[in-house]
Structure 1
Amino acid sequence: MTRILVVDDQQTLAGALEIAIDAQPDMECVGAVGTVEEAVRLAVAENPDVVLMDLHLPDLDGIEGTRRIRRSCPETRVLILTGHATAGNLTAAAGAGAAGFIAKDSAFPDILAAIRAPVSTRILVESLALPVLLEGLRTGAQSRADRAKRAGLTGRELEVLTLMGEGLDPRAIAERLVVSVHTARGHVKNVLMKLDAHSQLEAVLVATRAGLLPDPRTRGERR
């Protein structure tokens, strides 16, 4: 049973999410609150598996809320609910420990699927938000190989990082590279360590800012 806390001051949406979650046989909503203060208090009391966190709340923003919940409940996965995906707020939320981003106008099945996604470091970013995020972080014109070398990444780790940028988790990376899941997880762990990141999402943000990932506008052209 996955236990979820909803944090959103829009009572209609929060209530609808609570009903949708409780209707699932494998989920339970432990509460729906509208402020960061209430969210942190309830998270500490209930230790939920997942928190759905609105970015805009009346007392503090969802970024600070994410930071406080992750500090108090490090095993809890925070998914940001946002109606406006910008590079700035997505980057800040990722740095605070958010595990993913869900558009507020997503269909309930999509939100439920995001909650059910593996609790590993898989990146969860709504498809239209990812290009916005990456576009605001492009830098430099030096070769990726040179930058990767300075970051201490091996050729294989750069390859793994590129797949992380496509949103793949270690299991999917293992399938793509035809290696064991254990090996793929080892490469992901090394990438996170070398980029001083705490999740795949944060690693992708750091790597994109450093110019280690290909421009999202040209990925389709190379395939």
Structure 2
Amino acid sequence: MTEPIRVLIVDDQQLIRVGFRLILEAEPDIVVVGEAADGEEAVQACAQAQFDVVLMDIRMPRLDGIEATRRIVAARAQTRVLVLTTFDLDEYAFGALDAGASGFLLKDAPRHDLVAAVRAVHRGDAILAPRATRLLIDAYATVPAQRAGDLPAELTDRERDVFEAIGRGLSNAEIAAELFLSESTVKTHVGRVLAKLGARDRVHLVILAHRLGLAR
């Protein structure tokens, strides 16, 4: 039997934490194993236990979600952080993505969107609001511009196809269907693209694909 997705909920408002817990724990493949009221508590919790996904609020006392995300990802690269924000064009959410978050989600998102987002980032997919992508590209500062022109040549034709699809926001399942590949094969290609391009994660690949003009 597959192990359930272990989730940590981080928000300074108890009612929000309770609401998210009720939604997630109704799912058979997700278990909430911890809560934190601010970034400091989140970092401490991740140092003491292994979480698959962290639902991270941005604006909190003591330590905000951006710095907490940076510390958690630096200490446990396998932990995925999903940022919770009030506005989908929130500059603070972009800062969290730059710090290593795997995507962001509106706090008032429908129940099924929250559950789907947790599963998606756990699989390694990126969660980005489409209309916020351009602002994110403009704000992103971690890809060295001088390397951009040389990157595509390092990829095989199939890896380039996968890279372009990632840039368009497709999940592994969607890429598999479009390219007539198995999901396991797509996952292998994604890993190779990440390694060859020196990208930190899938969000990093989305930004790079747009910067190179590969994603239309």
Q: TM over 0.5, yes or no?
A: yes
* Unmatched 5+ stretches in structure 1: 139-146, 215-223
Match of 1:184 among 182, 186, 190: 186
Q: Deviations over 1:92-145 (max 9, x none)?
A: 3223221221111112232122223363321222xxx3222224536xxxxxxx
Secondary structure, aligned partner of 1:31: strand
**Does residue 1:7 correspond to 2:10, yes or no?**
yes
Q: How far off its partner does 1:182 sit?
A: 4.4
| 1:80 paired residue number | 83
Q: Percent identity?
A: 38
| 2:134 paired residue number | 134
Larger radius of gyration: 1
Change (3 A) 1:90 1:196: farther
Greater Cα shift, 48-57 or 13-22: 13-22
For the 8 Å contact 2:120–2:126, the answer to whether it is kept is no
**Does residue 1:102 correspond to 2:95, yes or no?**
no
| 1:172 paired residue number | 174
Match of 1:160 among 159, 162, 165: 162
* TM-align CA RMSD: 2.7
For the 8 Å contact 2:85–2:93, the answer to whether it is kept is no
| 2:30 paired residue number | 27
Query: Given the two structures, how large is their TM-score scaled by the length of structure 2?
Result: 0.80
Q: Distance in 2 between matches of 1:195 and 1:91?
A: 22
* Unmatched 5+ stretches in structure 2: 139-146
Aligned residues: 204
Secondary structure, aligned partner of 1:137: helix
Query: What amino acid does structure 2 have at the position aligned with 1:49?
Result: D
Q: Distance in 1 between matches of 2:90 and 2:208?
A: 12
Q: Distance in 1 between matches of 2:136 and 2:186?
A: 29
For the 8 Å contact 2:103–2:127, the answer to whether it is kept is yes
For the 8 Å contact 1:21–1:112, the answer to whether it is kept is yes
Change (3 A) 1:151 1:38: same
Q: How far off its partner does 1:91 sit?
A: 4.0
Q: Deviations over 1:10-30 (max 9, x none)?
A: 222112112333343333222
Match of 1:52 among 51, 55, 65: 55
| 1:221 paired residue number | none
Q: Distance in 1 between matches of 2:173 and 2:6?
A: 24
Secondary structure, aligned partner of 1:185: helix
Q: Distance in 2 between matches of 1:168 and 1:74?
A: 23
Change (3 A) 1:96 1:191: same
